[in-house]
């Protein structure tokens, strides 16, 4: 019997993809944003595809700001970009 693959919607592209191919960003109960590689942190989560171009688009359109109802720093978008870029490079090896 095949296991059901958990699917999530990317907040940038609106595509449904397997959860493993995406990165979760979480707003903790304390109101801080964090990259959540485990997908298990406590708080409100949003998913973004592992595509550096989509992170840039999210930054330009302030998608995370809207998603979480807060101002997201350029530093966080930078950190997210580095993380996604690194993960994508690893997946191509």
Question: Does residue 1 carry a pLDDT above 80?
Answer: no
Question: Does residue 92 carry a pLDDT above 90?
Answer: no
* pLDDT at site 93: 81
In order of their start, the domains of the chain are: 8-91 (3.30.1230.10)
> What DSSP element (H or E) covers 90?
helix 74-91
Q: How far is CA 74 from CA 50, 64, 86, in A?
A: 18, 11, 18
Average pLDDT, the chain: 94
Angle at 78 between CA 71 and CA 35, to 5 degrees: 75
pTM: 0.89
């Amino acid at each position: 019997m095949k296991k059901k693959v958990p699917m999530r919607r990317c907040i940038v592209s609106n595509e449904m993809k397997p959860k493993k191919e995406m990165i979760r960003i979480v707003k903790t109960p304390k109101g801080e944003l964090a990259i959540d590689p485990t997908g298990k942190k406590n708080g409100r989560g949003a998913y973004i595809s592992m595509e550096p171009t989509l992170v840039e688009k999210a930054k330009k359109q302030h998608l995370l700001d809207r998603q979480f109802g807060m101002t997201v720093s350029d530093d966080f978008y930078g950190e997210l970009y580095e993380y996604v870029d690194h993960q994508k490079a690893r997946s191509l090896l």
